[in-house]
Every structure is written in C-alpha cells, then in structure tokens.
Amino acid sequence: MKKLLIALCLSFLSVASFSQSSNTPIAIIPQPVSVTQTNGKFTLPENIVIEAGTQPEMKQVVAFLKDRLSVPTGRQVTVNASAPSATVRLLLNQKADAALGKEGYQLSVKPSAIEIKANGAAGLFYGVQSLVQLFPAAIESPSKVANVTWEAPCVEITDYPRFGWRGLMFDVSRHFFTKDEVKIYIDNMVRYKYNLLHLHLTDDEGWRIEIKSYPNLTKAGAFSAKKVGYFGTFDPPAPEEPRNYGGFYTQEDIKELVQYAKDRFVNILPEIDVPGHSLAAVVSYPELSCTPGVEKYQVRSGEEIMDWSHGHPPIALVDNTLCPANEKVYEFLNKVVTELAQLFPFEYMHMGGDECPKNYWEKSDEIKALMKKEKLKDMNEVQSYFTKRLEKIVMSKGKKFIGWDEILQGGLAPNAAVMSWRGIEGGIEAAKQKHEVVMSPTTFAYIDYMQGDPIIEPRVYATLRLNKAYTFEPVPDGVDPKYIKGGQANLWTEQVYNMRHAQYMTWPRGFAIAESVWSPKEKKNWNNFFQRTEQHFDRLKAADVNYAPSVYEPIISVSQTADKQLKVELATEAEGIDIYYTFDNSFPDNHYPKYKEALTFPKEAVMLRVITYKGNEPKGRLMSIPVEELQKRAEMKNAAH
C-alpha cells in the first residue's frame, strides 16, 4: 500500500490580470443532484451585502464567502444579520428539509440577488462552494484581479451528498508536513466538498504526534537522515549522518488543526499504524519489539527494510513490528489511545493493521507461548488476537475501531470497521459480515500512483489515470449499501517532499473521487466531467494551486511487427486532443506531422518526441522517448503474451 510515490512539481505564476466573463458553461465539481439554468445573469455590485445568522458555526461560512467576493474583485462587502435588500442571503431552514439532510443545500441565483438555504451550516458552506464555482475562474485568485466581468449564470440548484464519508488520506509520516501545510490541504479539499481528512501519523519513517506518556516517540522517533532520490533504494544512513530531518505536531498543534478542520466542516481521522509499520515506535522504545537488542534500530530514511519478492505480507529485513505477546505493548497502546481520544473528537480511530510481516514473530519464543496459551493456529490469528485486544482498548475510550482490510485475516474484531485498500474484495467480505466499510481501493483511489506515462512521471509500480479514477464506485454489486459509509483517496508520501508536489498528486484525481462520493451515480459522465475539469484547471491556476496535466499526454502502446520493427500507437484520455510527433530529434509543435495511425519506427531513428495540442494551444508536456525504452516495452509486452 505504501511504497514509492511521485515527484514532479509544476510552477504556475500568480495570475495578475484576466480578461474573462461568465460565458462559460456551468462547471461545478462535484456535479450537483439537480441544476436548472434560468434566464439572465447575476452581476456582482460594487457594494455587496451578505445576510447571515450569527451562530458560531456560521462564522467560517461567512468568512469564506466574504473573502472570495472581496479579495479578487476589490468590492466592498458587509455582513448583517437581517438585510431585506441583501446581495446574498444565507438562510437556515426553520423546518428541516428531509431531502437535503445535514449537508445538502438549495442555491438560487437570480438577476437581482442570490439565496442559499440549508438545514445546517455545513449545507450553506457547500452551497457557497458551488456559488463561487459559478463565477469566473479569477474569483479563486489570492489577490485583486483586473479586467473581469464578475457575473454568474442564473440557476436553481438542489444538491446533497450521496455518502457521509468523503475523505482524503494525507500521509504526514513518510515526509513531514507542517501544521500550516495541513491547513492548506484542508482549504483545498473543502472546495470540492470533502468532509474527512485521514492523517497517517505514524510509520517506519516517523512518529508525528506528541504523546506525553511516551516523550521519546517524538524525541527519537520523529527524525531521520534526509535522503533524496527513489525511496526504497537508499543506503542506510552512516553513523555520522545527522538525524534531524522530520518533525511532529504538539498536542496544541493538533487541537488547532482539529478546530481549523471543524470550522470548515471536516473531521480528522487519526491513524496510528500498528502492529506493523511501527519502526519509529520501536526505535523510541525497543522493549515493544519481539526482538529487543538484536539489532540497533533506527528510524527509516528510505533504505530497504522489506523483501517483497515473496508477495504479501512481506518478509521483514528489520523487525518493524510491535510484539503481540508483550503486555508492555498493550500498556503502551492504552496510554497512546487515551491521549488520542482526548485530542480527536471524531468517533473513529484508525489503527492500521496492514502489511505486517510475521517472520520475526515466527522466531519468537514469546509468540510461541502465546499461541499455545490462546490456542492460535497461525500468525494471522496472532495478529487477530492483537487486533481484538486493541479494539477493546479503542472502544473503552468511547471510540470506534477502523483498520485496513488485513484485519479480516484470522478473524475480524467484533465491532471493527474495515477500510478496503487491496481492491474492493476486503470491503465486500466485511460488508457481508455486516461490518461498516470505507472503500479506498488501489485500483481507483490511490493517488500516489503515476498519472501518466513513466517516461515523464517518476516511476512507481502502478499507474492510475484520471479516467480510471473517475470510474470509482464505492458500492460493489451485490453488497448492501447500508454498510458502505463512503470512500476516500489516499496520498502516500514516500516521494512527496513538499506541498506543491502533494497538490500535483491530488488534483485533478481528487476531482474524480469527490464526484464519486458526492454525486448521484447516474449523473456521472466522463466527457461532461472532463469538460468541467478543464475549467477547474483555470481555477487552480488562478488560486496558485498546483495540478498535473497528465490527462493531456499520450498513452503509448508499443509492439513489434513480424519483421521486428517497432510499431507505436498513441491515444489520449481526453477527446479533441491532437498529437504531433517527430523522429528526427527536433522538438515538435503543431506544425509537425499529426498522429493519425500507428507509427513504424524508422530504422536508424533514436528518439520519438510527442506533444499534444487542443486547437492551437499546447496542452501536455513534451515527451521524449528513446528507442531503447520503446524496445524494452515491446519486449515486455511480448513476454506477457
């Protein structure tokens, strides 16, 4: 689940001036339940009045809307609790509209005024997000923009989410992201109506949260030696290399983040990953391991610590597990969970459970004695024993237990919820056992995967293109939907070093997952979605948020003809994209040959270069593919057949 990730950042300059009006189609992401465009347009006046209640939960709704209507436009905005001639009215329903639920809204844009109604402040917040998306892209700018006609089409929208769990997982363990960077991630995700941030707080590469009962977790476990390159291939740090790369959140930081998220109607799900992925904890407290003192533990800096050649689970080269036969482990976990429960009000607590190697357990006399005492048949049952004890600890603090789908092996804890990542099969099995399920399968929702061709994306072990992500369906056929709480995308960060890169990996695939968990299933349409996505690229540029243009770049298929010549076929995910190419080492533009049919690689040529255009505008990045790379792909294809 958590292996290599990506590393490519685009730089977008802040846009100082736009010449744009609202003459573009309605392009709201995620797609609302019902949109009816009516006659006319709303034009933003010079002096804007927002009518809104003074309830505490309304504070951020009003603050966000005021910011967007004033900063990029330069307009004056005032807020009143009662304003009969208000420009925008934010109204809480006196009598709840059952169809809207807690997060739904009704948005009415007329030529003279705008009205948003909802049962609660969350619904108003999401209605405001949709309203902002009706204005020109420049509305997203962090500074004043000139030459914009600030208009929105007149519409009637009724909207509410399909699922209550709409999440993004952000791995802050593999690389540490500061408190302020996490806030940026929250700001970006709520624009697309996500309501859950899953923070992966601990792993082999770092323990990121202060636990006052165990201060060494952050003193020793939060720092490693800095390495740059391909994660998993680094040499172990030399003894003299400084271990000062990393960081952690104090408990005051966590309280601040929890409140920041709450103000934006986001819950934070904390994850402490045990019993595997626990090297940072074992470094801090070696007595928690089944093999204390056998080796000098160190927080992982990206060196190889697992042998994956034998499949799943891996064989550990370093014991990175907590010991299920050690009572000190349960004392440790009880104190950790106690402190977590006091910090995170969300009802669930994620305790990991994935990719736990068993080879060190198999050698342990303590484990053998535990198996005999508890009548455990194999190592899966040993992990199940651990999980069931941990679930009792979590429940004793008033929380619900959730873990990765490996917790099914050896017997599922009685009340555990399952997050299904190895495809959807684990989720199906858990739902059939009448357990709650969150779907986050690698096949559709792992946004650490490559987004395009490996020649231009940092190579990892799998690819997830935007159009595949958009086919994500959280409720498998034959499964009772009442057990499917929703879904989420997961961003693992082994090779994501900074926020620009995290944004690059999240968007636009985050659009696809947002629509899969918010919009009605029958509303989903790839061509319509991509048309809206293109408009949101402009919005991300205006907001100075990074994104990946990979969807515009060619899908390259290589084979060999009967006479051993290379045959190259090119395609694109998006319609209306033209591909231009060269074999002569020059750099193609739209004056070069346009791809129309499969290409035969010239005998003496050494390089294929391709670039995509939409009309006269270049879209994808220039891709240069040496003949050796194409030959390798053709041979791999032949071997596979």
| Separation between Cα atoms, residue 43 and residue 149, nearest integer Å | 8
Greatest Cα-to-Cα distance within the chain, rounded to the nearest angstrom: 80
Angle between helices 59-70 and 121-134 in degrees, nearest 10: 10
Instruction: State the catalytic residue, choosing from 175, 198, 200, 277.
Output: 277
> 397, 420, 502, 526: which is closest to 184 by C-alpha?
502
Instruction: State the catalytic residue, choosing from 159, 171, 203, 391.
Output: 203
Residue type, 445: A
Query: Cα separations (Å) of 392 from 91, 325, 389, 416, 490?
Result: 43, 16, 5, 10, 27
Cβ pair 483, 437 in contact under 8 A = yes
As given in the structure block, the two tokens for residue 523 are 């509303």
**What's the count of helices (H) and strands (E) in the chain, helices before strands?**
17, 30
Cβ pair 476, 487 in contact under 8 A = no
Strand, coil or helix: what is 381?
A: helix
Q: Is 617 exposed, middle or buried (0-12, 13-18, 19+ CB in 10 A)?
A: exposed
Instruction: State the catalytic residue, choosing from 51, 159, 355, 406.
Output: 355
What's the DSSP call for residue 482? G
Based on the residue annotation, tell me whether 453 is a catalytic residue of this protein. Answer: no
Cβ pair 587, 622 in contact under 8 A = yes
| Separation between Cα atoms, residue 450 and residue 302, nearest integer Å | 19
Based on the residue annotation, tell me whether 203 is a catalytic residue of this protein. Answer: yes
As given in the structure block, the two tokens for residue 73 are 């436009």
CA angle, residues 291, 321, 495, in degrees to nearest 5: 125
- The sign of the dihedral angle between the CA atoms of 281, 287, 292, 296 is positive
Query: Cα separations (Å) of 174 from 23, 373, 392, 439?
Result: 44, 37, 28, 22
Supply the residues annotated as catalytic: 203, 277, 355
